[in-house]
Amino acid sequence: MVRVAAVQTTSGPDRDHNLAQAGELVAEAARAGSRLVVLPEMVNRLGSGAVLRSGAEPFDGPTLAWAREQAHRHGIWLHAGTFIEALDPTAPDRRSNTAVLLSPDGTVLGSYRKVHLFDCDVPGAEFRESDVTEPGDRLALVALPDLHPAAVVGFSICYDLRFPEVFRALAVAGATILTVPAAFTARTGPPHWEVLLRARAIEDQCFVIAAGQHGTTAPGLSWHGHSMIIDPWGEVLAEATAPGPGVVTADLDFGRLAEVRAVLPSLARRRPAAYEVRADS
C-alpha cells in the first residue's frame, strides 16, 4: 500500500499567500502519512489572463524553489501542481503551463508542459488559455521505484482530461498512476469532472489522482474543486466534499491494480493494427 494525497486549494493572484496555504496543506498530507502528494493546477497564482501573464517565472524560479523545499522538508514525492513558466527570457510572450514532480530530496524527476489548451466559449466558462501560454508537444512519464516497484506516474493537466488518447498513450507506455492537477470550471465540473476521471481510470486501468482548485478567483472565474482519488476499477477511494482548501488521502493497492488488469485484460488485448478508419469498409 502507498498512501497518496490530492490537495485542494483556493488560489488567487498573490503567490506568497497561495504557496503559504499550499504549504500548510502539504504538511497536513504528510502528517497523514502520504508519500506522494499532488497539488492543483496554477497552485502558485490563479486569475485572469493578465494575472497569469504577469506571474510567469522561469522553470527554476521561486515556485520550484518552494516545491523543492517542501518535498525535502516532508520527505515526500511532490507533484507540485502547475505554474506559468516563462520559456525564454528573450521572448516574454513565450509561456507554458508546466507541471513538475520532485523526489523526497527535492530533485526534479520529470516535468510536463500542457498539450491541450483550454479555449472555450461555453456560457459561464469562457476562457482562452492560448492567449497566455503555448501548447507543449510531448507527454511525460516518470517511474518511482523507491515509492513502489509498480509506481509509474503519467502526467496530464486539467483540459487534457477530455482527450482520452493522452491517457491511453500513457497507460500503454507503462503508467499505473495518472495525475490530473486542475482548475476545472464550476460550470463544466458538475456534469463532467467525476465522469471523465472515472472513465480514464476504468479504460486505462490506472489509479487517478485529481487535485482541483475550488472557489472564485475573480468575477467569472469559479472552480469546481472536488479533488478525487480513484482506483483502476473506477471506484472513488477519496473525494473532497467540503468547499475550499483541504486534503483527501487514500491508500493505493498495487495488488488490486494487477488483479484488475488480470481479470479484465483490456489493455493487453488492444489491436492497434485494426484501428485505422478506412473508407472502403
Q: Considering the candidates 57, 85, 158, 206, report the single residue annotated as catalytic.
A: 158
Count the alpha carbons within 13 Å of 164 in the hemisphere toward its beta carbon: 11
d(CA 8, CA 28): 12
Strand partners, 2: 252
Q: Decide if 206 is catalytic.
A: no
Q: Considering the candidates 57, 85, 114, 206, report the single residue annotated as catalytic.
A: 114
Give me 252's grid cell.
493505493
Q: How many residues belong to the chain?
A: 281
Q: What angle do helix axes 62-74 and 15-31 make, rounded to 10 degrees?
A: 20
Residue pair 218/206 in contact by the 8 Å Cβ criterion: no
**CA-wise closest residue to 224 among 6, 1, 9, 65:** 9
d(CA 157, CA 128): 15
Residues with a known catalytic role? 41, 114, 158
